[in-house]
Every structure is written in structure tokens, then in C-alpha cells.
Amino acid sequence: MPRRIDHVAIIVRNLEQALIFYRDTLGLEPRAIQDVPSEQVRIAFLPMGGPQGSEIELIEPTTPDSSLSRFLEKRGEGMHHLCLEVDDIDAALQEMNEREVAVLDTQPRLAAEGRAIFLHPKATHGVLLELIEKRPQATRRVER
């Protein structure tokens, strides 16, 4: 069902510090660095592999009381979640529910680049797994 890996999210204490490694040392060019106050984070997207490629997403929590902040305090910096692109998030959610997979969302949430659901790590062998339907598809759906 998933068509590709969309991104791997890495949680970091300080985005600028992390970019010193990922951009300056490794040579990955950010396509966007965004402040997202509604989610209490700053994000940098580092694309690789062309239009069909996958990205590294660096996430810095900007407040001390978000769930991401608590994750960072508890686990330290590192990989936080894995995101796979699907064609139809509503169908994916329905299928996960039918198969009794633990989903953290009762309906798709609005993500930066589409609509998404998160699967609980207990259902995925330890991975916080995001499934996303990217915006072009979401827009097309609205037009039907």
C-alpha cells in the first residue's frame, strides 16, 4: 500500500547545530526551514534522490512542554518517526482499523504537506510510523 518512504524524522536539540553536520559536513541542501508555532517545532527538510526520493526531516522542539520535548528529554536526539506515502489516507485508516492496528488518530490530521495518521509503535515493532497522503492528492479529493 505505501508507495515510497517520504521522510525519516530526526529530533534534535538545536536545528542550527544539527545543520552544521547534515548541511555543512554531509552536504545535504535544505529545501525549506520552517518555524511551525502551531506544532511548537522548527523543521528543516533535506531532500535526496530527486522527485521520487526521500527526505531527512530535522525537528527541533521550541517549547519545553510538547510531547516532542518530552521525547527528547527521555530518549535524547535521534530518529523519531518514519513516514510512508500512501495514495489514499482515508482508505489506509479504514484498513488499519479493520485489521485492529493501533492508530493514534481517529481521523487524518493536517500535516505540513498533506493529511496523515500515526500508527502506535506497539503495532509496528517499535517504530512510530506515519502514513501520509500528500497535498496534491488531498486537493484532488476536495475537487471531486
Question: What residues between 90 and 129 interact with its own copies by CB under 8 A?
Answer: 96, 99, 101, 121, 123-127
User: Which set of grid coordinates corresponds to residue 133?
Assistant: 497522503
Nearer CB in complex with its own copies: 82/112: 82
User: From the list 78, 107, 110, 139, which residue makes contact with its own copies (rule: CB under 8 A)?
Assistant: 78
Nearer CB in complex with its own copies: 110/127: 127
User: From the list 32, 36, 48, 110, which residue makes contact with its own copies (rule: CB under 8 A)?
Assistant: 48
Strand (E) or helix (H) holding 18: helix 15-19
Distance of alpha carbon 51 from alpha carbon 26, whole angstroms: 20
Residue 76 makes contact with its own copies by CB under 8 A = yes
Q: Which residue has the cell 506515519?
A: 130
Is residue 57 packed enough to be buried (19+ CB in 10 Å), middle (13-18) or exposed (0-12)?
buried
- Provide DSSP, 62-117: -STTSHHHHHHHHH-SEEEEEEEE-S-HHHHHHHHHHTT--BS-SS-EEETTEEEE
Residue 74 makes contact with its own copies by CB under 8 A = no
User: From the list 1, 32, 36, 91, which residue makes contact with its own copies (rule: CB under 8 A)?
Assistant: 1
Residues lying near its own copies in the complex (CB under 8 A): 1-5, 8, 10-13, 17-18, 21-22, 25-28, 48-50, 52-56, 58, 76-79, 82, 84, 96, 99, 101, 121, 123-127
